Each structure stands twice: as C-alpha cells, then as structure tokens.
C-alpha cells in the first residue's frame, strides 16, 4: 500500500498498537514541551552571548560574524538530520543534540580566546538545528490530519511563549557572571525530560527518503519557500522594526515596543490560522498570509506612527508568522516517514538561509531608501512568494 510516495511499513508510529488517540496526544505534548523549553533557553542565550562579547570589547562586526556562524551550521547540518534520525532514532538524537547545545552554552563563558567562540557557535547552531528538525518531524508525524494545522499552531504558540520568557528571566538574574550561563544550561537539559518520558511514543523511521533534502525546494516550493521568506522577514523585523520606529519619530521605548507587538501577534494568531488551515486548502491560506503580509508591509508607509502603527504591526506580525505554521502543516499533509524527515530538514535549512542572508538585504534596502526601503522590501518578498503559490496552485489545482 502506498500513499504520497511512501510505503506503509516505512513509517510505523508506536502508538498504533493501543490507545491511539491518548498516546498520540501524549506524544505531541511531550514534543511541544521539549521544544518550548529549548526555545526558552535559546532566547535567554542569544542576548546573553551578545552582552558577554560586548563586555569583552568585541566589535559589533565580529559579534555579527560570530552569530552568523550558527546560521551556517544550520544550513550545513539540516541535510544530515534524516540520515542521523534513521540511524540513531528520535530519542537518542534529540538527547545528544540537547546535551551538546546545553554544554556549549556553558563553554562560551569558560572559553578564553574569542576564536574559540566560532567552533562553539557552530556546534551550538548545529545542535539546535537538529533539535528543531527532529521535534517538528515528531509533532508533524503524530498530528492527526484533520487537526494538523491546529496542532502546529499550538506548537508555534508555545514556542513563541518560550522565546518571550527567556529575556524576562535574563532581566531578573542579570547578564554577568556564571549564573545566567548555568541557568540556561540547566533549562536546556531539563528539556530532555519529556523526550525520555515519551520514549515509547515517538515515531520511527526504517527507510530512506525517496528525495534528497535539496529536492524539496523543487517539489514542495509552496511550503519550503514559506520558511525561506519567514526566516528573512522574522530576523529582518527583529533588527529593523525598532529602527523604522525611530526614523518615523518614535522615542526609543515606543520603537522597542514594535518588536513586542509583532511577537504578541505571533502568539495570538497561530492557533486560529492553524485551525483555519484544517478547514481550507492550505495553499490558499499560505497565499492569503503572504498577500496580507505584503499589504501590511506597504501599509507601514502610510499609517501614522502611534497606536495605529502598533496595531498594524501586531496584526501583520501574527499573519506573517503563520507562514511557518501553515507551511509545516502543509508538509505534514503531503509526506510521511523518511520523506517527512527530509522535508522538515529542507524546511529548517531554507529558514536558516532566510535568517542568515535576509537581514543584510533588508538593511541594504533601508539604506538605499530610508526609511521606506525596509517595508517595501518586505512587501516585495512576501508578494513574490504569494505569486509563486498562486502560480503553483494554478498549475496543480488538485488538493495535495
């Protein structure tokens, strides 16, 4: 028996033997809990490492280059994850990656010469890439088809909450000394508890994917390009939304709140749009998110700064972030087993390409046409993605 290019024995969820719905929900909950805690530790570590380097007198240029090393690690590591997943399994691979990420965080504080931060950043970036690829494969595999979008929406919401919690904890414990590094390490190790507890419930892979990771850009561009565009838009917004606010006449506090508004929109919109994608052609939902994101970005050039601009960013941020959620659900509805693992790896790899190379392009656009180059470039990227989705659906009108 074959479905979407995989043989049924290639993918055997362990919960199929008994109490399928109960076991399935426990499996999903464990995966979401693990990745939420990892997101918590990650969001604490990113600003912590920047502050530590600044105290050591490292220039912003070198800090940026060191940070970009993690993106390069993601791009290089993602294609290897399906192979590693097949040979080590979900639990062993997640635990190994989680421990490597946690230990590397503590090693940053203990490392003396700055050059050591480059291999450490590479290890940390590669480990986190493995964590997210495997976790998203796990969640996508376990999610029931009629609620896949909702499940991915819950995952994205919890991850956003985890990311929001890290800086709050950092504000409480401070950024100096060994303590914040030790806390971040412990948090990331705690994420492995639900992985171990859910060991009997994880999906397994016993076959090789029919497609290479890179090929998914050609056969599933609607989903994979959603990750690419969102990676560029998300990291570009984190860098340049506050700057846009400043250039529109906002004070520093109000400009910083723009980023908070976008993050809160991310939390608010993932579940409802995920739920919607379960009841409609997900390609239409992705096209709608892309089009709304392009229109919202253009609206930034005409909406006056103030509360109306803040509200626009809130809605815009939530809709654009749904590209990631619905893109993942779209992949899960098309592929299973080894193919899904490779598709998830391609998704993360394209996201990594976006967040590594998107901000320089958006920054150049802002330099070329200040301040409107940034929102116009966002609109162009989102509009082009929307056009690709519409053309793909026109060429392949049947629901995949």
Give the Cα-Cα-Cα angle 51, 54, 59 (nearest 5 degrees). 140
Whether residues 194 and 225 fall in one domain: no
Lowest mean pLDDT among 96-105, 115-124, 186-195, 249-258: 249-258
Q: Are residues 129 and 226 in the same domain?
A: no
- The answer to whether the beta carbons of residues 344 and 331 sit under 8 Å apart is yes
Pair 283, 372 in one domain: yes
Q: How far apart are CA 259 and CA 2, in angstroms?
A: 46
More confident residue, 61 or 282: 282
Of residues 297 and 208, more confidently modeled: 297
| Nearest-angstrom CA–CA distance, 141 and 148 | 9
Domain boundary, last residue among 201, 228, 251: 201
What is the tens place of the pLDDT at every residue in 184-228?
889 888 888 888 887 777 777 665 666 667 777 778 889 999 999
What is the reported pTM?
A: 0.83
pLDDT above 70: percentage of residues in the chain: 92
Six-digit token pair at 297? 């970005």
CATH number of 127's domain: 1.20.1250.20
Give tens-digit pLDDT for 87-97: 888 888 989 99
Residues 279, 341, single domain; the answer is: yes
Tens of pLDDT, residue by residue over 364-400, are: 888 888 889 999 999 999 999 999 999 988 888 775 5
Together in a domain, 226 and 254 = yes
Phi-psi region of 303 (alpha: psi -120 to 50; beta: other; left: phi over 0): beta
188 and 102 Cβ atoms separated by less than 8 Å: yes
Same domain, 151 and 39: yes
Contact 297, 382 (CB under 8 A): yes
- The pLDDT-based confidence of 122 (bands split at 50, 70, 90) is very high
Look at residue 3 and tell me if it is in a domain. no
Q: Which string of DSSP letters, residue by residue, matches 208-242?
A: --SS-TTTHHHH-HHHHHHHHHHHHHHHHHHHHHH
**Among 142, 176, 201, residue at a domain's last position:** 201
Claim to verify: residue 31 and residue 152 sit in the same structural domain: yes
Q: State whether 186 and 262 are in the same domain.
A: no
Please tell me the distance from the alpha carbon of residue 254 to that of residue 260, in angstroms, as a whole number: 10
Which DSSP symbol is given to 11? B
Rounded to 10°, the helix 148-173/117-142 angle is 150
Name the residue range of residue 277's domain. Answer: 216-395
Could you give the CA distance from residue 324 to residue 230 in angstroms, rounded to a whole number?
7
Section 78-94 average pLDDT:
87
Same domain, 308 and 188: no
Same-domain check for residues 153 and 246 = no
Judged on CB neighbours under 10 Å (0-12, 13-18, 19+), 265 is buried
Check whether 64 has a pLDDT greater than 80.
Answer: no
| Residue 249 sits in the same domain as residue 138 | no
Q: Which residues neighbour 136 within 8 Å (Cβ) at sequence distance 6 or greater?
A: 35, 155, 328, 344, 347, 348
């Amino acid at each position: 028996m074959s479905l979407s290019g995989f043989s049924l024995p290639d993918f055997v969820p362990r919960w199929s033997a008994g109490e399928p719905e109960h076991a399935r929900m426990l499996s999903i909950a464990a995966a979401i809990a693990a990745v939420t805690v990892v997101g918590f530790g990650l969001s604490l570590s990113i600003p912590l490492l920047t502050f530590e380097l600044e105290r050591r007198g490292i220039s912003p240029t070198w800090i940026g280059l060191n940070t970009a090393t993690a993106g390069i690690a993601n791009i290089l590591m993602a294609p290897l994850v399906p192979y590693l997943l097949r040979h080590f399994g979900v639990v062993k691979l997640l635990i190994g990656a989680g421990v490597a990420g946690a230990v590397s965080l503590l090693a940053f504080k203990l490392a003396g010469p700055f050059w050591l931060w480059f291999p450490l950043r590479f290890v940390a970036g590669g480990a986190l890439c493995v964590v997210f690829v495997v976790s998203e494969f796990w969640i996508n595999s376990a999610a029931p088809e009629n609620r896949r979008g909702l499940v991915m929406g819950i995952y994205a919401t919890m991850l956003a909450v985890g990311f929001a919690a890290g800086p709050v904890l950092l504000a409480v414990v401070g950024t100096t000394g060994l303590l914040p590094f030790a806390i971040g390490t412990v948090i990331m190790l705690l994420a492995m508890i639900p992985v171990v507890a859910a060991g009997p419930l994880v999906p397994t892979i016993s076959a090789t994917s029919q497609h290479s990771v890179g090929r998914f850009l050609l056969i599933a561009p609607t989903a994979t390009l959603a990750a690419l565009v969102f990676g560029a838009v998300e990291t570009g917004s984190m860098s340049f939304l506050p700057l846009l606010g400043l250039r529109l006449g906002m004070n520093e506090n109000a400009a910083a709140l723009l980023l908070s508004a976008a993050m809160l929109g991310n939390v608010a919109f993932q579940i409802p749009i995920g739920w919607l994608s379960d009841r409609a052609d997900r390609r239409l939902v992705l096209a709608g998110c892309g089009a709304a994101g392009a229109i919202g970005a253009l609206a930034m050039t005409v909406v006056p700064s103030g509360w109306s601009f803040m509200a626009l960013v809130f809605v815009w941020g939530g809709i654009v972030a749904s590209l990631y959620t619905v893109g993942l659900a779209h992949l899960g509805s098309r592929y299973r087993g080894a193919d899904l693992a490779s598709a998830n790896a391609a998704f993360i790899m394209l996201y990594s390409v976006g967040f590594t190379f998107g901000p320089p392009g958006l920054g150049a656009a802002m330099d070329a046409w200040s301040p409107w180059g940034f929102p116009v470039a966002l609109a162009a990227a989102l509009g082009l993605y929307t056009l690709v989705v519409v053309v793909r659906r026109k060429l392949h009108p049947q629901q995949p």
